[in-house]
Amino acid sequence: MTTPWEAEARLPAMPRPATPQRSMSMLHHVGHAAPVSADRAPLLRRLSTDQQSTEKPLLREFSVDVEETFQRLLEQEDTDGDMQISISDRGPKSITLKTVKGTTAEVRGTYMLASLLQELALAKDRGERHMVIREAQLAEDPIHRLSRMIRTMFWDNLTRRIDAEGLEKVLLDPKNRSSHRRQLLYVPENEPDMLAYYRRVAQERPDLKLDVEALPTHFTPEYVRDLNQRPGLLAIAMEKQVDELTGAVDMKGIPFVVPGARFNELYNWDSYFIALGLLEDGRLDLAKGPVDHFVFEIEHYHKIMNGNRSYYLLRSQPPFLTDFTRRVYARLVADEPSRDHKPWLKRALCAAIKEYRTVWMSEPRWDPATGLSRYHPEGLGVPPETEASHFTNLLRPYAEKYRCSVNEFTRMYDHGQVHEPELDEYFRHDRAVRESGHDTSYRVERRCANLATIDLQALLYKYEVDIAELIRDEFDDDLDGEHSAVWFERAAFRQRQVDTYLWNEGKGLYFDYDLCQQEQSVYESVTSFWAMWAGMASEAQARRMMRVSLSKFEATGGLVTGTEESRGPVSLARPNRQWDYPYAWPPHQMLAWEGLARYGYMDDARRLAYRWMFMITTAFVNFNGIVPEKFDAVALSHLVTAEYGNQGTQFAYVPREGFGWTNASFQVGLTYLTSHMRKAVAACQHPDDFFHRYRHL
C-alpha cells in the first residue's frame, strides 16, 4: 500500500522571481508561487505493508521486545550515528515487526521509523521490556502528533522552578565558561526569607555544591563585571506555601518555561512568545509565572532582564510586559470569574509603568531630542556569555598589539588596564544589539546604540496604549494618580514622532532612525510590521506596507528577517548573521500574523502561517521530530550554520523539549489555518503547489 505516512521527498526551495508581485489575497497571491514543479518529487507516504496480511492498515498492533527492536532499528537505520532517523540516513527505511496476531508486517519510511524509535525510547524510559504499538501511533497525522507532544511533553520538560526540588535542573548553565566550579545563587539582600530558605537548601543538599550570596540593592557596571568571574543564577519570585498538616510555612518557586538547549533560564521576550503558545494550550499556570517574575525583577533588579543570570544584570530585552499582562489577566477573569484579579493586575501594571519610566524613558535609552527610545544598556568589557571564539577575530589584532594572548588581552581590557576607544565603541553597540534581541545582524552591528528602532517604538507605543486602556477600563480612570488621557497623549506623541523620523512613504516601510547621523537607516527589516501588531500604523500606512513591502520579506517558508539586498554580500571575511536574510524566526511570524489580521488582511496572515507551518512540519517529519530555534526560510532548512548554529537540534532518539518559541508558533499557527490548509500541511504539500492549486479551485 502507498497511503500515508512517508514524507521523504526532497524539498528544494523554489527559485525566487526577480520582481515578485503580490495582491493582498490568498486566492490571487502570485509572489513566490509557481506551477507544480516537475522536478519536485511527489510526497509518497506509506503505511506498514505486507502483501500477505489481511489485517486492515492502521488497525494492526505490533508486539515488540523493546530493547531488541530498539537496537535493531538503530543499527539498521541510523547510518550516520546521530541517534536519530532522518532523510539523511541511508538505511533501507523498512523494518519487519510481528503483529499481535502472529503475522509479520513491514514498517516503512522515515516518518514511521522515527516515530517507532521515539515510542521505543519512551518505553525504555518507563522501564518497559515489552510493548504493544498500534500502527496508528506510528502513522499519526504529524500536525496532531507535534501539537500533542508540545502540549503534553515539551512544555513540562522545559518547565523550571528555583526551589529545593527544581534547583538542580535550573542551575546548569551551558554558557558558563568561568573557572569557578561551585554553583552560585544570588538573592536580593532585601529578601531575608528567600535568603534563609536558599541557605537552608544549600546546607541540606550538599550535592548541589551551592553557594548563596546576597546581592546589593544597587550595583554598578564594575560590580557586575567582577561578578563575571563568579557567574550565577539570580533569584526570582517565590510564593509562600503552608503545610496543611503542620501549618508550617515554607517557600516554593513559581514555575516558568525556558527556551531550551543552551538557554536554561528565564528570558524576557522569549517568555512572552512562549506564553502565547501556553495560553493556546490552556496552561495559564505557566503563562502567568513570568509576569510575576518580571514584577519581581523590576522591583529588585530595576529592569526586566535579558535573562536571570548575573551577567545579564545590566541588560534588558524587547519589552512586552503590558500586552503579556493583558492576555494573562483576560484569561484569569475568564477562568476564575468569581475571584478578584484586580490586585494582581494593579501590581503588574504599576511595575510596567515603573519600567517604562526608569528604563525606556530615561537616558541613555531615551533620546530627548526626538522623544524616541533606543537599546542602550550599561556595561564594561567583553560579554562573557558568548561562545568562546565569538570575539576572537575582533580581539586578535589588539592582542598582537600588546604582544599577549587573546585571553590575556580580554582580561586587561575588561579591567581597564588598557584603553582602546574604538573597542569601547564596538562593545557599546554590541551590548545594545544583545538587548535588542537581534543578536546579531548587519542591521544593528556597530550602530545599535545610536538607532531608534521601529520595533522598540512599536513596543513602547503598545505600552502607552495598554496602560491607558487598562487605567480607563479597569481602574475607573485613576490608578494611584495615573490617568488615561496622559497615556493616550504619550502614545499619540510617539506615533507622530515615528511618522516624522521612521516612516518612509515612498518605500512603504518604517526604517530605524540613526540619532547621531540624523537619518533613516537603509536596512529593510520585517520588524516594520510590528507597527501593525501594535496598532501604531494608520490604515493608509498598513495598506501601503502590504502593497509595496510584504513581498520583500515573504519567502517559501515564511517571513525572513530582512531583505537580501539590505544584508549585502556574505563571504569568509563577512559571514552571515543569524538575524539576517535568509533566516526566519518565530517572533517575527507571530507578530506579523496578528498585525495583518488586526488590519483585516486575514488571507495574507493565513498564507504566511501556512508557509511557516509547512516548514516546521516537514522538518518534524523528515528529521526525527526536530523543532529548532530558527530556519532558513529560503532553503526550507533547519541546518543553520551562522554564528552558533541552531538550537533544539541536539537530542537522542526522541525530541523532549522542542524549542520554546517555535513550539508556541506552531500552536498559535494552527489557529490561523483553515481545515483545508491543515490537511494540506499535514500532507506536507509545498506552499507553491498548494497556492497554485488553491487559486484554480
With a CB cutoff of 8 Å and minimum separation 6, the contacts of 234 are 185, 186, 215, 301, 305, 308, 309, 310, 312, 313
- Choice among 8, 89, 464, 629 that is catalytic: 629
DSSP lists the bridge partners of residue 367 as: 372
Per residue in 111-143, pLDDT (tens digit) is: 999 999 999 999 999 999 999 999 999 999 999
CB 86 within 8 A of CB 623: yes
Among candidate residues 672, 671, 659, 673, the one with its CA nearest the CA of residue 274: 659
**Band (40; pLDDT cuts 50, 70, 90):** low
DSSP 632-643: ETTTTBS---ST
**Per the omega criterion (within 30 degrees of 0), is the bond before 231 cis?**
no
Phi, psi of 134 (to 5 degrees): -75, 140
DSSP at 267: B
* Burial per residue of 312-329, b for 16 or more beta-carbon CB atoms within 10 angstroms, e otherwise: bbbbbbbbbbbbbbbbbb
* Cell output for 457: 517604538
- Choice among 77, 430, 439, 554 that is catalytic: 439
pLDDT value at residue 696 = 62
Q: Which amino acid is at 642?
A: A
Strand intervals (E) in 115-193:
130-134, 159-160, 183-188
DSSP 516-559: TTTEE----BGGGGHHHHHT-S-HHHHHHIIIIIHHHHEETTEE
The Cα diameter of the chain in Å comes to: 81
Q: Indicate the pTM of the whole model.
A: 0.93
DSSP at 623: B
**Band (694; pLDDT cuts 50, 70, 90):** confident
Per residue in 455-470, pLDDT (tens digit) is: 999 999 999 999 999 9
Of 19-28, 656-665, 673-682, the range with the lowest mean pLDDT is 19-28
With a CB cutoff of 8 Å and minimum separation 6, the contacts of 322 are 349, 352, 462, 463, 466, 467, 470
Q: Is 609 buried (19+), middle (13-18) or exposed (0-12) by CB count in 10 A?
A: buried
pLDDT value at residue 247 = 79
Averaged pLDDT for residues 306-330:
98
pLDDT value at residue 388 = 81
| 629 catalytically annotated | yes
Averaged pLDDT for residues 255-264:
97
Residue 93 has pLDDT above 70, yes or no: yes
Give the helix ranges, DSSP H, for 158-267. 167-171, 192-204, 221-227
Residue 16 has pLDDT above 60, yes or no: no
Averaged pLDDT for residues 184-206:
97
CB 599 within 8 A of CB 461: no
How far apart (Å, rounded) are the C-alpha atoms in residues 365 and 432? 10
- Return the domain boundaries, the chain: 61-140, 157-360
pLDDT value at residue 644 = 84
